[in-house]
Amino acid sequence: MLLDKIIHIFLPNRCVCCNQVISAQSSICDDCANGLDKVSGKLCNICGAPEGSCDCKRHPKWFDRCVSPFYYNGSAKLAVLNIKHHKIKQTADFLSKYMAQSVLGEYCGMTFDCIAFVPMFKSKQKRKGYNHSRLLADALSQYLGLPVIDVLKQTVSAKPQHLLPAKEREQNVSGIYSVVGDVFNKNILLVDDIITTGSTLSECARVLRLEGAAGVYCVTAATRGKSKEK
C-alpha cells in the first residue's frame, strides 16, 4: 500500500541485530539470519551450557534448569547488546519468540504460574530508563500467556558482572536481591538476557526458593559456551 511505503521512507524498518535498513516485511537481514548460532548438541541439564564447559559440579545452582535459544556470539550477541543498551521493542520481540520456543520445547508439559525477571538497582534503572530483562519478560509473556510479576528487587548496588572474572561473580551478587511479593508454592519462569556463570540467576533463584517458590526455571536469550568466534 502507498501509505506503508511512505511510512517506510520516513520510519525505515531496521534489522533487529545490526540496525541495517531492511524491507518492511522482515525483522532481520539475511546476513544476520545466517549468523545466528542456535544452541544444539549435548548440554548440561542444569545451566544449559555445552557439556563440560559449565561449573555446576563445583558451584551448584539454586535454579532447577536454564534454557536458551542462541549462543552469545555473532548476530545473537548484536541483538542482546541492542536491547541491553537501547530500548528496542522489536529486538525484544524477536528474541522472546525464540526464547518461547525454547521454553515450550525444553520445558514440555511443565506449567508455570508466572514470569519473573532479574531486577536492576533502582538508581541504575533510573539512569538507563528501563530494565532490559523486564523488556524481554514482557515480550515473552505475550507468547506464553503468562503474567509478569515484579517480585524481585536489587537492594544493594554491585559491580557489573561482565567486568569481573568468573571466580568473583558469585560473591559479587551474594545477598544483593530480595523478594517483595508472594511466591509461595509458585512455579516461576525467571528471565534474563544472557547466562554466563549462572551466578546472577542462581542468587535470584536462591531468594525465591527461600521464600517458598516451588520451582525456579530460567530462560535467557543467549548462553556462553560453544562459539564460532576465536
pLDDT score recorded for residue 225: 65
Closest by Cα among 108, 81, 86, 62 to 207: 62
Give yes or no: residues 15 and 99 share one domain.
no
DSSP 8-71: HHHS--B-TTT--B--TT-SS-HHHHHT--B--SSB-TTT-SBTTS--TTTS--SSSEEE-SEE
Mean local confidence (pLDDT), 99-114: 95
Closest by Cα among 3, 10, 66, 104 to 196: 66
pLDDT at 123 over 80: yes
Whether residue 39 is contained in a domain is answered as no
Whether residue 118 is contained in a domain is answered as yes
pLDDT score recorded for residue 172: 76
pLDDT at 80 over 80: yes
20-41 residue pLDDT tens = 999 888 899 999 999 999 998 8
Cα distance between residue 152 and residue 183, in whole Å: 10
pLDDT score recorded for residue 46: 94
Whether residue 229 is contained in a domain is answered as no
pLDDT at 12 over 70: yes
pLDDT score recorded for residue 158: 76
* Burial class of residue 189, CB neighbours in 10 A (0-12, 13-18, 19+): buried
The grid coordinates of residue 49 equal: 551450557
The pLDDT-based confidence of 8 (bands split at 50, 70, 90) is very low
Q: Identify the bridge partners of residue 220 per DSSP, sorted by sequence position.
A: 192
Cα distance between residue 83 and residue 68, in whole Å: 16
Exposure class string for 198-211: b at 16+ Cβ within 10 A, else e: bbbbbbbbbbbbeb
Give yes or no: residues 194 and 135 share one domain.
yes
Closest by Cα among 31, 30, 33 to 98: 33
CB proximity list for 156: less than 8 A, separation 6 or greater: 121, 175, 176
Q: For the whole model, what pTM was predicted?
A: 0.90
Give yes or no: residues 109 and 49 share one domain.
yes
Q: Which residue has the higher pLDDT, 194 or 169?
A: 194
Give yes or no: residues 89 and 2 share one domain.
no
Q: Average model confidence (pLDDT) for the chain?
A: 89
Find the domain containing 172 and state its range.
Answer: 44-223
Question: What is the percent of the chain where pLDDT is above 90?
Answer: 69
Q: Which residue has the higher pLDDT, 14 or 12?
A: 14
CB 112 within 8 A of CB 185: no
Mean local confidence (pLDDT), 49-66: 88
The grid coordinates of residue 166 equal: 568468573
pLDDT at 226 over 70: no
First to last CA, the chain: 46
Instruction: Report how many domains make up the chain.
Output: 2
